[in-house]
Structure 1
Amino acid sequence: MRLQVLVILFLQGVLAEPPSKISGYLGHNITLPSGVDPSWILTRIEWSVFSNTTWIATYYNGKINTDRLSQYKGRLSLDKTSGDLTIHNLNTKDAREYTVNLINNGNQSIRKIELTVKQRLQKPTIRSIPIVSTREGCWMQVHCSTPDKGVTFHWEVNPPSVLTYSRSKQDGNVPLLVAFLSTSQNPVNFTCTCSTETQNASTVFTSKCDVDIPTSHVRERTAALFLGGLVTSALIILVYVFREKISDVLKTLRGKLCPSAK
């Protein structure tokens, strides 16, 4: 009898399929599918980890037990119909190989699943730096950054008619954008997206060019220009009217300063 059990276990190990691979994200939930035949009515479910088959969730005699191992206590949900196991609030220690053993009226199915736990991309940070402002508009830099490594940057500007110029790094990434915002434009949305092969994370930054010159300053500047124009005009008129006298005065002064010139 013992030899028969060993043979069955050996055959199960030989006939078992390679582990299926699945990925989840830190702090999120993940469901490990049992791969059960939909026609089966499960009488026993056993989810286990480690090479010594340490049970973490079981269903037997109509009862579900998901508090078998302290590491998973309060974080597991077992579906007795499908055999699927959900792990809540993933952490890095959950990344390992899981084995599910399903029994249906003498029929047995064994499946292994390799779980990888990843860090989800953080939303990038956008920082704006004013360059110069005129009455027509504003030149500004918009810089995108993220603590995540190995990401690429992509910009979207709405409305797309906004004049922009991008500066890329040596690796081709474009974290910096130079833009001109007209004073007549509505607020402009700058969207920076950080990407990897499997993930994207975006942040939207809204800006508007407000060139605020106080009305009192405008009046003072206008008054100064008007007064300067009056003074200049008066000087021109005086020079024209008294040009002969001014010429005589200049000759007298030249004669006194330079007697040899007589």
Structure 2
Amino acid sequence: MKLLILVLQVALVGSLTVSSGFLGDNITLASGAPPSWNLTSIEWSIFSNNTWIATYRGKRKNTERVDRYKGRLSLNIISGDLTIRNLTPEDAMEYTVDLINTQRENKGGKTKLIVKQRLPKPTIETFPCESVKGGGFQLFLLCSSTDKSVDLSWSKTTNATVFNSLNADVASTAVKVFLSTKQNHVKFTCTSSKNSETASSDVTPSCDDNEPEPTPQHHSTHRKNYIAITFFVGLLVGVLVMTVLYFQKGETNNILAG
């Protein structure tokens, strides 16, 4: 007798389906009712004690049964589908639906809801421009993600810029950019991918026209100044050392003479 009741319960509940949604989004759980059915009773419940969260009986609909779901549920009395708005982590659980049509036929089902967090957008860091011998400029871009298990890739809007990319570590990737002129603005996109989800960030690097360009003459002047300062400091230190030694020697001679 117990075995027969168990078999009937399994037949009524049916197979378990799986649905997934993102935090803050809406999701609709399908009841599985045949399109030809004219539903007279719909009961959506949670937990093992069948806590009702949305019901339709005697042509009366109630979606305000449980505080945590108040204002977030919509029940379609034609299809029996249940919509949950503004998903939260606590919504991730199994939902049970029980249906009855005008012919007194019963049907049930279970849906396991998985609530996921959206993939965070990657962060792009731009490093200062450097002039290149023969003309043009180069700079580095670094793309990183807080999610350590994503794949990062680069793309650009035009082939006017030549670049090579390399992976700095498992959660970041760098790209070397060459710009023929300071006005050569090219948009670069870094995309992070995980399973079937993607997220991307854009940047349009350029060199600042107000930034003085380093030239061989500037480098030569800086080098000469550095050498002169180094020589002067060394000379000053040498004079101070010789002066200290001279006075120490004089004091020693006075002591011996006394």
- So what's the TM-score if we normalise by structure 2? 0.74
**Does structure 1 residue 51 correspond to structure 2 residue 48?**
yes
Q: Post-superposition shift, 1:62?
A: 1.4
Q: Is the CA contact (8 Å cut-off) linking 2:182 and 2:209 kept in structure 1?
A: no
The structure 1 residue matched to 2:112, chosen from 111, 114, 120, is: 114
In the alignment, the residues of structure 1 paired with residue 47 and residue 159 of structure 2 have an alpha-carbon distance, to the nearest angstrom, of 55
The structure 2 residue matched to 1:76, chosen from 56, 60, 73, is: 73
Partner of 1:129: 127
Partner of 1:142: 141
Within 5 Å, give how 1:173-192 maps onto structure 2.
175-183=173-181, 186-192=184-190
**Alpha carbons of 1:15 and 1:109: their partners in 2 closer, same or farther (altered >3 Å)?**
closer
Compute the RMSD of aligned alpha carbons.
2.6
String of CA shifts for 1:206-249, please: whole Å, max 9, x gaps: 123344478xx9xxx9xxxxxxxxxxxxxxxxxxxxxxxxxxxx
Partner of 1:230: none
Q: Which AA in structure 2 matches 1:62?
A: K
Within 5 Å, give how 1:21-100 maps onto structure 2.
21-100=18-97
Partner of 2:193: 195
Q: Is the CA contact (8 Å cut-off) linking 2:19 and 2:113 kept in structure 1?
A: yes
Q: Post-superposition shift, 1:81?
A: 0.8
In the alignment, the residues of structure 2 paired with residue 6 and residue 42 of structure 1 have an alpha-carbon distance, to the nearest angstrom, of 29
User: Which deviates more, 87-96 or 173-182?
Assistant: 173-182
Q: Is the CA contact (8 Å cut-off) linking 1:33 and 1:84 kept in structure 2?
A: yes
- So what's the TM-score if we normalise by structure 1? 0.73
**Does structure 1 residue 151 correspond to structure 2 residue 150?**
yes
**Alpha carbons of 1:79 and 1:177: their partners in 2 closer, same or farther (altered >3 Å)?**
same
Three-state SS of the structure 2 residue aligned to 1:209 is: coil
In the alignment, the residues of structure 2 paired with residue 5 and residue 167 of structure 1 have an alpha-carbon distance, to the nearest angstrom, of 65
**Alpha carbons of 1:130 and 1:213: their partners in 2 closer, same or farther (altered >3 Å)?**
closer
Q: Post-superposition shift, 1:181?
A: 1.1
Q: Which AA in structure 2 matches 1:156?
A: S
Q: Post-superposition shift, 1:102?
A: 1.0
Q: Post-superposition shift, 1:140?
A: 0.8
Q: Is the CA contact (8 Å cut-off) linking 1:182 and 1:209 kept in structure 2?
A: no
Instruction: Count residues in correspondence.
Output: 212
Three-state SS of the structure 1 residue aligned to 2:204 is: strand
In the alignment, the residues of structure 2 paired with residue 77 and residue 213 of structure 1 have an alpha-carbon distance, to the nearest angstrom, of 59
In the alignment, the residues of structure 1 paired with residue 137 and residue 64 of structure 2 have an alpha-carbon distance, to the nearest angstrom, of 62
Larger Rg: 1
User: Which deviates more, 13-22 or 98-107?
Assistant: 13-22
Partner of 1:240: none
Three-state SS of the structure 2 residue aligned to 1:43 is: strand
Unaligned stretches of 5+ residues in structure 2 = 218-258
Q: Post-superposition shift, 1:142?
A: 0.8
4+ aligned runs moved over 6 Å, structure 1: none
Three-state SS of the structure 2 residue aligned to 1:188 is: coil
Q: Post-superposition shift, 1:137?
A: 2.3
Unaligned stretches of 5+ residues in structure 1 = 222-262
Partner of 1:163: 162
User: Which deviates more, 132-141 or 159-168?
Assistant: 132-141
Q: Post-superposition shift, 1:182?
A: 1.5
Q: Is the CA contact (8 Å cut-off) linking 1:166 and 1:174 kept in structure 2?
A: no
